[in-house]
């Protein structure tokens, strides 16, 4: 904590969230000095002090996160774990694959024509995209 305060400057120049020293994780760079706290750890601190999880969430959101006290109001960061990131990425990829299937059907029905130059170019694009979509489906299913 003292090392962090040294980085932030004089304790009178920054605002700290009372009672959450254990959750202090750093400072916001490139701005006025602002203390940065781990959101979930702040909730844990309140639970350790006797609140239920729900009480801690409500109290913390209303009294701490929701309190703006000027430009140096502390920042509360809620970290996303790897499982959440992977799940979100897969969801986005599924959506993209689904939309791409619709596009590929349109290309196959309306643009591929091996009797003219543009139609042959679309056939080339279609072949490359079909391969990429197959790989994406395999990754999602694997």
Could you state, in order of their start, the residue ranges of all structural domains in the chain?
A: 2-77, 82-141
Q: What is the pLDDT of residue 7?
A: 60
What backbone torsions phi and psi does residue 51 show, to the nearest 5 degrees? -85, 155
Q: What is the pLDDT of residue 87?
A: 77
Q: What is the pLDDT of residue 6?
A: 63
Q: Give the whole-number percent of the chain exceeding pLDDT 90.
A: 23
Q: Give the whole-number percent of the chain exceeding pLDDT 70.
A: 89
Task: Name the strand (E) or helix (H) holding 75.
Answer: strand 75-77
Name the residue with tokens 């750093």: 26
**Closest among 120, 37, 32 to 72, alpha carbons compared:** 32
pLDDT tens, position by position, 49-66: 999 989 999 999 999 998
- Rounded-to-integer distance, Cα 115 and Cα 111, Å: 11
Query: Which tokens hold the place of 55?
Result: 């009480």
The residue ranking higher by pLDDT, 102 or 3, is: 102
Long-range contacts of 91-95 (CB under 8 A, 24+ apart): 93/136, 93/139, 93/140, 94/140
pLDDT tens, position by position, 73-106: 899 998 877 787 777 788 888 888 888 888 888 8
State the average pLDDT over residues 123-138.
Answer: 88
If pLDDT is split at 50, 70 and 90, which confidence band does 44 have? very high
**Cβ–Cβ < 8 Å for 1, 21:** yes
Strand partners, 26: 36
**Cβ–Cβ < 8 Å for 35, 27:** yes
Task: Name the strand (E) or helix (H) holding 100.
Answer: helix 82-110
Global confidence as pTM: 0.54
pLDDT tens, position by position, 98-107: 888 888 888 8
């Amino acid at each position: 904590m003292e090392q962090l305060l040294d980085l932030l400057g004089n304790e009178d120049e920054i605002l700290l969230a009372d009672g959450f020293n254990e959750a202090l994780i750093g400072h916001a760079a490139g701005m006025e000095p602002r203390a940065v706290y781990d959101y979930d750890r702040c909730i844990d601190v309140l639970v350790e002090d006797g609140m239920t999880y729900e009480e801690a969430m409500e109290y913390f959101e209303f009294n701490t996160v929701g309190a703006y006290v000027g430009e140096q109001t502390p920042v509360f960061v809620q970290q996303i774990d790897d499982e959440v990131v992977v799940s979100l990425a897969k969801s986005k990829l599924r959506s993209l694959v689904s939309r791409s299937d619709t596009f590929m059907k349109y290309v196959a029905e309306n643009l591929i024509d091996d009797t003219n130059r543009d139609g042959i170019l679309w056939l080339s694009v279609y072949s490359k995209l079909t391969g990429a979509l197959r790989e994406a489906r395999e990754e999602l299913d694997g």
